Amino acid sequence: MLDYASLSALAHVVREGSFERAARALNVTPSAVSQRIRLLEERVGCALVVRGTPCVPTDTGRRLCQHVDRVRLLEQDLHETLPALAPEGPARATLPVAVNADSLATWFAPALASFAAESPVLMHVAVDDEGHTAQWLRNGAVLAAVTDAAHPAAGCNSHPLGAMRYRATASPAFVERHFAEGVGAGSLARAPSLVFNSKDELQARWARRQCHRHVELPHHTLPSPQAFVTAALAGMGWGLQPEVLIRAELQAGSLVELVPGSPLDVPLYWQQARAASAWLDGLTQRVLAGARTALRRP
């Protein structure tokens, strides 16, 4: 049998980022948390946590944390049908998911909020590029993810959500300044672009499609969808914006497309761990319903 007190200590250290905060959450001393994890590491035969600021799990540690999340969700299911087994006081399982920032800023947050408002779980949301969220599933860090990967990760189901449409836009003044002679490889190589982070390849993909070759784009880094809109309106640069986020600006003319009628559609999928919990199935239904109203059909 696994020692679930030790597994709980591990999960709290990973979630809270330190032994001290984990100890406060568990109402024990930091030395007790350290001892539980040390005993678990001795039994497993490898390190489970990389001590630092914050503490991060090893690959084995992540898989054990995923197991703890599944067990807690299953226990939450059981408590709903057999309330006499529920512990005294509020007890909420954690449901970890990963999502790309543009989805979170548009259609995903309402679906998540409506589910969490009616469910006895605590949501733990990680944000990453849609091309990398599937890795969170594969390494056991989350139980579900919005991703651009259609093929399901091992032990997961994959549901098509639809496509998020992006428009390459900038302010009229920016377009007049940088693209007065048209949009091409030369002008794109000179005009500042906007990227979310080093993983964001949407601008490069759009430029490659327009120019039929790779263009090295100068760029500002802004890790926020809302900051993208603000920066574009101010003339800081051009970027791929979710159409749903800038519909009003396009209608008002405060943002214009670099090349009219040249959207970029990114298909998205919802992948979830199989047989995890009825609560995860419930979240899946809310996510699929939210996507149906906000995303374009494949």
pLDDT recorded at residue 135:
87
Q: In this structure, what DSSP letter does residue 238 have?
A: B
Which CATH number do you get for residue 172? Answer: 3.40.190.10
* Gap between the Cα atoms of 268 and 291, Å rounded: 9
Q: What is the DSSP letter of 106?
A: I
For residue 218, tell me if it sits in a domain: yes
User: In terms of residue numbers, what domain contains 218?
Assistant: 164-266
Q: φ, ψ for residue 86 (rounded to 5)? A: -70, 140
In a domain, 222, yes or no: yes
- Read off the pLDDT of each residue in 111-120 and give the average, rounded to a whole number: 93
Question: Is residue 17 assigned to a domain?
Answer: no
Tokens of 258: 């670099």
Average pLDDT, the chain: 90
Report residue 84's pLDDT band, with 50, 70 and 90 as the boundaries: low
Query: Is residue 34 exposed (0-12), middle (13-18) or buried (19+ Cβ within 10 Å)?
Result: middle
Q: Is residue 256 part of a domain?
A: yes
C-beta of residue 87 within 8 angstroms of C-beta of residue 116: no
Q: Report whether pLDDT(60) > 70.
A: yes
**Would 228 be classed as within a structural domain?**
yes
Residue 74 counted as domain residue: no
**229 falls within a domain:** yes
**pLDDT tens digits, one per residue of 124-172:** 999 999 999 998 888 777 899 999 999 998 889 999 999 999 999 999 9
- Which range is least confidently modeled, 10-24, 69-83, 195-209, 273-287? 69-83
The percentage of the chain sitting over the pLDDT mark of 90, rounded to a whole number, equals 66
Q: Is 87 domain-assigned? A: no
pLDDT at 86 exceeding the cut of 60: no
pTM of the predicted structure, to 2 decimals: 0.81
- The pLDDT value given to residue 163: 98
Provide the number of structural domains found in the chain.
1
